[in-house]
Structure 1
Amino acid sequence: MAAAWLAASLFLGGVAGEAARRNALEELERQATAGAAMHAAVLRSELEKQRAAPVILAEDPDVARLLAAPDARTVDRVDRKLERLAIQMRAAVIYVLDAKGLTLASSNWRAPTSFVGIRYDFRPYFTNAMRDAKGEFYALGTRSGRPGLYLSRRVDSSDGTPLGVVVLKLEFDALESEWRSSGEPAWVADPGGVVLVTSVPEWRFRATGPMDETRRRLSQTDLTLRPDALAPLPFRTPDGDRPRLVRTAVGEGRPQTWMHSQTGTAMPGWTLHLLTPERGMVGTAVAGGRGLALLITSLLALAAALLLRRRHQAIARARAEEEGRLELERRIRERTHELHEANLALNRQIEERRRAEAARELLRDELVQASKLAALGQIVASVAHEINQPVAAIWTHADTAVLLLERDQTDKARDALRKIGDLTRRIGAITQDLRLFSRKAAPSIDEIRLEDAIQGGLQLTRGRLEEGGISLERIGDGDVNILADQFRLEQVVVNLIKNAAEAMEGQDDARLVLTVERQGERVRLIFADNGPGVAPEVASQLFTPFVTTRANGLGLGLVICRDIIASFGGELDLLPTARGATFIASLKAA
């Protein structure tokens, strides 16, 4: 077991550690990808906000008037406008160049490093804007020496003649400070891999890889950069878009592991890179997975050892008990032969009792069937009365049809024959209900319609009610589904209606009210008559076998009815009333 535990621990520890490592890496990759997307969204928001300024200024009447006919008053007005706009938009500087690249107005006109009067026709953002109507270029400032993104827009006259260029310089100091506060190093590189915007100042204008001629041509940086500034970053930037682990030191910190991720930006060719600190997440997850695997295998080994020990002890106890039992039986057989015989007799009695129990169950089913047939026998007379009426009507309609045919009145004869067919179907329905009611079938609880069971019982007892002059009143809708056996429920309906009819026999104002009520998950079927009711001394033991108020009764009908309702998961009770008797059958709604 020790060897098996050691092998299982090593195997499960390796599997669990690897699974934990993969899960931790996937979670770290998701965090890094989401962080890169968020940083890119912030950069995109800043760029979109700043790009709108040159477009608006290119349509400004004061700027167009300045470029068309510059004078001191117009220059002063535009200088002040650009100064206010630069402060509001947090732009480094906004200035206007004429068609020859000479600065006419600038937001820094008050500063010692003012651009006013300086020519910038050699800068790419000017030449690109004059040629393509707009330009975007990242470079170092010739006067400030600070890097930034130059956004330019050409200003045209009403006839389409280029008048000059509006330029906005965007410096990313605030954005870099915001990235720096997040604790996750971030930087943006141009197509040549040169770092332009970064939260780590030491990495600015360094390259994501060795700078060859191809990468230099792809780079968008200005030629004012010193060649030795393009040294590679202190770590190799992973290739591909999928996040990868790298290990490096940021600033003066100690080397640690980071998850590198990258994504595109709103600037074509610019790629945003982000380092998300791993902070020992992978190692902690691997250690946790292995520790959990070790704990599980240890618990399983301990449980197996306990079970094995228990099994050995149980086997030993069973062997000892078996030996003791055999010894005891031997002594009992030797000393108490009569007890052995009595034991055999007791076994025979137990077997007889089991057979008696089975016979009792069979007898109970037979008793239910006998009660059904007894009720059927009592209602045969009323059913015969029900059938006699349709038979007499059939006889009359048959004679009428013969006379009508002799008189060639075929339409009226056809109506008489159709009535004969309807009466025949009625007789068939009555006899079918008698046959189904008398059938002995295995009870099966299923979803049935309560109205079908009520109509089946009424079909068999309607003649008995009419013969006794008993008026039947229906309250509530029986169109509700319940859980029961239809034929056994019909037996309960027949028995309760028959009991009510016998109790009100000879009564002038005899009335039976059949009510259906829905109460939550229960359906109540109520039989209320206005007969003499049940005496209190009989009501307390009404559902006891062989207790009856009729001279020729067995006292089993209500007992059987209660058993049938109970088999459906319901209840049958007698409700105390001032007059008559009220029985309530509570059934489960489907």
Structure 2
Amino acid sequence: MKVRDRLSRPTTAPWIALVAIWLAVAVLAMIGAAELARRDALAELRRQAVANADLHAAVLRSELEKQRSVPVVLAQDPEIAALAADPGPDRAARVSAKLEGLALQTRAAALYVLNAEGLAVAASNWREPTSFVGSNYAFRPYFTQAMANGEAEFFALGTVSGRPGLYLARAIGPASARVGVVVVKVEFDALEAAWRDTGEPAFVTDGRGVVLVTSEPDWRFRRSRALTAAERRDILADQTLSGQALAPLPFEGEPGRVVRIAGGPRAGEWMLAETATDTPGWTLRLLDPVDRAITGSTTNARVIALLAVTLLAVAAGVLLRRRQQAAARALAEEAARADLERRIDERTLELRDANSRLSSEIEERRRAEASREVLREELVQASRLATLGQIAAGVAHEINQPVAAIRTHADSAGAYLDRGDADGVKRNLDRVSDLTGRIGTITDELRAFSRKATGPVSAVSPTAAIDSALLLIGHRLRDAGMRLVRSDATDARAMADPVRLEQVIVNLIQNAFEAMIEDQTIDPTVTIDIVQNAGWVEIVIADNGPGIDPAVAATLFTPFVTTKGQGLGLGLVICRDIIAGFGGELGLRPSAQGAAFAITLRAAS
């Protein structure tokens, strides 16, 4: 009877305890996981915001570098100097027409020439009703500073157009005999629109904290800090602003912290990041949205924690159920054995021997059952959770080569202008325009890398891609005394995108150049071969430098692995992804001396 009572007694207490423990542990795990996920998300968002701010600053720097060279070249133009010293209607018309064409090529808002009294004698908008010709700008700070110091940069509203822009001024003539000033007005509408399309508010402040360039038009000429009465008075006067312009920004906070915007279309929490620019006093600040990153991370963390605790609870429930079943089976077997022994005792003594053997078999079965249960428990494992992520950021260091080429062509154009060679000037300016377009293409490509986007491929000439790459970097090889050896199959054609293939070639040549410069290689040589096999075209770029350390070679195409002292370890990763997008491969080839990289592309049919 005791055994029967134990079998019929309810066993719900362990299950109630298990459910209570599961609820308590689940709540604590979800709270802890959400807090950890929030901290990790904020740290990652902070790094991402700084990287985005650096990319915005690089785009701004590129735009300003292009425009700063224009007044330098124009200030050396003999015809412009003659017009500033001795205005004449015919000469003014010729100079204005020249400025009009140059403004279209450089995308400058306005180009104009002021004489020593500040009177505009020629302008790119001379045909328009709002022409600057005949207006006096002697009161503008950029004129007085340029006449005094030789150059000036000043951001303000236009007195005629009322549009904001940066005025780049350059004095004409030596310091002892200034005859006038060349002024370029740069407007940032396209740049601000590009920033606005990213969905991340970005703005540039001057040394006094006044917003100048911004993706949010309502924030322009607002202030990021308190101003003294003298500062406010000077800003309103110099930049031709109204008294309502210097209102505070709709948020306060330090870089690297979360700031809150209470109302408006940008209401919410944002991560504030800032970075310096090449323009003295200018600082670029950027806001990255916080809500989506934090909400998604904390929600995922809570779900994962709940699932993990639930899986553990289910495993514990399975074990508890099996233990109860094993105990019930043991009790049942014990009752059956006792009943059997009672019956055997009522029978003959011979049956007692059989009962003893049967008891031994039952005991052995119990031991086997216990061993089987232990084995099952050992085979119960927890499932893994893997999160696969890949950082696709793009670094825009390739832009430096076209910018350097633009500067070289601009200097050449100045030399042609000094000789009066208009055709030479036009050729160089056309090349500057082409390189400027290439910078835009490279910038779009870097943004495409961040979106993992791929462009269409077509049949291209590897020789032409190498020629274009050497146009950007060839002068560096020549200046460093490096020898270039080429063996090109000129009729080979491969499937690729010409601009992105050119980027890969530039990157590989640049790496070889830097390795040999750092190693001070004797007779540094870069060798470029094009080999066409059945269905494939290979471009092999090799050098006689120090080569790749075998300890690094195995992980060379892993993100953040680099042999450079200041490298990020992303260049070869990006190049490999580009070539893979063409359906090809980029790899390191064995080489007796130096390093050799092979680009393998599908041959065009």
Bin for the TM-score computed over the shorter chain = 0.5 to 0.7
Name the SS for the 2:97 alignment partner.
helix
* CA deviation after TM superposition for structure 1 residue 342, in Å: 10
Q: Is the 8 A contact 1:32 1:260 kept in 2?
A: yes
Question: Equivalents in 2 of 1:341, 1:90: separation in Å?
Answer: 105
Instruction: Identify which of 242, 267, 272 aligns with 1:255.
Output: 267
Instruction: Identify which of 143, 152, 159 aligns with 2:160.
Output: 143
Q: Could you tell me the percent identity over the aligned residues? A: 51
Match of 1:83 in 2: 100
Question: Equivalents in 2 of 1:110, 1:284: separation in Å?
Answer: 56
Q: Is the 8 A contact 1:93 1:169 kept in 2?
A: yes
One-letter amino acid matched to 2:208: G
One-letter amino acid matched to 2:247: A
Instruction: Give yes or no for the alignment of 1:208 onto 2:224.
Output: yes
Instruction: Give yes or no for the alignment of 1:110 onto 2:137.
Output: no
* CA deviation after TM superposition for structure 1 residue 228, in Å: 2.1
Q: Is the 8 A contact 1:138 1:221 kept in 2?
A: no
Name the SS for the 2:171 alignment partner.
strand
Match of 1:246 in 2: 260
Q: Is the 8 A contact 1:210 1:231 kept in 2?
A: no
Q: How many residues align?
A: 340
* CA deviation after TM superposition for structure 1 residue 59, in Å: 1.4
* CA deviation after TM superposition for structure 1 residue 110, in Å: 1.9
Question: Equivalents in 2 of 1:89, 1:338: separation in Å?
Answer: 111
Name the SS for the 1:52 alignment partner.
helix
Match of 2:39 in 1: 22
Instruction: Identify which of 265, 269, 286 aligns with 2:277.
Output: 265
Q: Is the 8 A contact 1:188 1:270 kept in 2?
A: yes
Match of 2:180 in 1: 164
Root-mean-square deviation over aligned CA pairs: 3.1
Question: Equivalents in 2 of 1:21, 1:341: separation in Å?
Answer: 67
One-letter amino acid matched to 2:279: M
Q: Mapping of 1:261-410 within 5 angstroms?
A: 261-278=273-290, 280-322=292-334, 324-325=336-337, 331=344, 334-336=349-351
Q: Mapping of 1:37-116 within 5 angstroms?
A: 37-116=54-133
Pair 201,341 (structure 1): closer, same or farther in 2 beyond 3 Å: closer
* CA deviation after TM superposition for structure 1 residue 263, in Å: 1.8
Match of 2:583 in 1: none
Pair 318,218 (structure 1): closer, same or farther in 2 beyond 3 Å: farther
Instruction: Give yes or no for the alignment of 1:236 onto 2:251.
Output: yes
Q: TM-score, with normalisation over the residues of structure 2?
A: 0.51
Instruction: Identify which of 166, 186, 194 aligns with 1:178.
Output: 194
Structure label with greater radius of gyration: 1
Question: Equivalents in 1 of 2:277, 2:268: separation in Å?
Answer: 27
Name the SS for the 2:179 alignment partner.
strand
* CA deviation after TM superposition for structure 1 residue 106, in Å: 1.4
Pair 264,243 (structure 1): closer, same or farther in 2 beyond 3 Å: farther
One-letter amino acid matched to 1:265: T
* CA deviation after TM superposition for structure 1 residue 14, in Å: 0.9
Pair 81,139 (structure 1): closer, same or farther in 2 beyond 3 Å: same
* CA deviation after TM superposition for structure 1 residue 49, in Å: 0.9
Pair 316,334 (structure 1): closer, same or farther in 2 beyond 3 Å: farther
Q: Is the 8 A contact 1:177 1:199 kept in 2?
A: yes
Question: Equivalents in 2 of 1:302, 1:60: separation in Å?
Answer: 84
Question: Equivalents in 1 of 2:96, 2:163: separation in Å?
Answer: 22
One-letter amino acid matched to 2:330: A
Any idea what the Cα deviations from partners look like across 1:149-205, whole Å, max 9, x if unmatched?
110111225x96322211111111222222223332222111222111122222221
Pair 84,314 (structure 1): closer, same or farther in 2 beyond 3 Å: same
Question: Equivalents in 2 of 1:55, 1:12: separation in Å?
Answer: 65
Q: Mapping of 1:448-463 within 5 angstroms?
A: none
Name the SS for the 2:126 alignment partner.
coil
Pair 24,66 (structure 1): closer, same or farther in 2 beyond 3 Å: same
Q: For structure 2, which runs of at least 5 residues remain unmatched after alignment?
A: 1-16, 359-605
Q: TM-score, with normalisation over the residues of structure 1?
A: 0.52
Question: Equivalents in 2 of 1:174, 1:340: separation in Å?
Answer: 98
Pair 342,244 (structure 1): closer, same or farther in 2 beyond 3 Å: closer
Any idea what the Cα deviations from partners look like across 1:456-514, whole Å, max 9, x if unmatched?
xxxxxxxxxxxxxxxxxxxxxxxxxxxxxxxxxxxxxxxxxxxxxxxxxxxxxxxxxxx
Q: Is the 8 A contact 1:192 1:217 kept in 2?
A: no
Q: Is the 8 A contact 1:191 1:219 kept in 2?
A: no
* CA deviation after TM superposition for structure 1 residue 328, in Å: 5.6
Question: Equivalents in 1 of 2:39, 2:151: separation in Å?
Answer: 48
Pair 342,209 (structure 1): closer, same or farther in 2 beyond 3 Å: closer
Pair 199,339 (structure 1): closer, same or farther in 2 beyond 3 Å: closer
Match of 1:368 in 2: none
One-letter amino acid matched to 1:317: R
Question: Equivalents in 2 of 1:342, 1:39: separation in Å?
Answer: 87
Pair 318,114 (structure 1): closer, same or farther in 2 beyond 3 Å: same
Name the SS for the 1:144 alignment partner.
coil
One-letter amino acid matched to 1:175: L
Match of 1:387 in 2: none
Q: Is the 8 A contact 1:246 1:260 kept in 2?
A: no
Match of 1:189 in 2: 205
Instruction: Give yes or no for the alignment of 1:128 onto 2:140.
Output: no
Question: Equivalents in 1 of 2:271, 2:262: separation in Å?
Answer: 11
One-letter amino acid matched to 1:40: A
Q: Is the 8 A contact 1:130 1:154 kept in 2?
A: yes
